[in-house]
Amino acid sequence: GAVVSQHPSWVICKSGTSVKIECRSLDFQATTMFWYRQFPKQSLMLMATSNEGSKATYEQGVEKDKFLINHASLTLSTLTVTSAHPEDSSFYICSAATRQGSYGYTFGSGTRLTVV
C-alpha cells in the first residue's frame, strides 16, 4: 500500500533557529501534499496544501513566511519552520493524496517539534 515517510519523528531546537521536516512518498507519486498541525488534545488543523512544482496554498491565519513549504518533486515535500519560537511547539503531520487505487489520503507518522 501507499506509504508516506516523515522525518524526523521528533526534534528539539533553540528559539530563533529553523527546522526542516521532510515528507516522502515511498512507493507512489504524490502530486498533492497537505501539512497539518496538531496541538495537544486537539484535532488536526490544515496549514497548507502543496502541489508539485507550484507555490503552496496556505490556510487563513498561517504565516507563509514562517512556515515555508517546498514541493520540488513528486515524492518529496518539506516544511521549514523559520525562526522558531516556543509557541511553534506542536505535532506536525503531512499527508499525501493517494492516486493508487481509489481516492484517499496517506499520512506520515508525524513530527514532534519542541522549541526551547
Partner 1 sequence: AQSVTQLDSQVPVFEEAPVELRCNYSSSVSVYLFWYVQYPNQGLQLLLKYLSGSTLVKGINGFEAEFNKSQTSFHLRKPSVHISDTAEYFCAVSGGGGTSYGKLTFGQGTILTVHP
Tell me the site size for partner 1, rule CB under 8 A: 25
Binding of partner 1 by 46 (CB under 8 A): yes
Which among 91, 99, 103, 92 is positioned nearest to 25, based on CA atoms? 99
User: Which of 49, 80, 82, 114 touches partner 1 (CB under 8 A)?
Assistant: 49
Q: What backbone phi and psi angles, to 5 degrees, belong to 88? A: -85, -10
User: Which of 11, 13, 44, 74 touches partner 1 (CB under 8 A)?
Assistant: 44
Binding of partner 1 by 6 (CB under 8 A): yes
Strand-strand pairing, 104-107 and 90-98: antiparallel
Query: How far is residue 23 from each of residues 87, 108, 116, measured CA to CA in Å?
Result: 22, 7, 24
Binding residues vs partner 1 (CB under 8 A): 4, 6, 9-10, 32, 34, 42-44, 46, 49, 91, 93, 95, 97, 102-110, 112
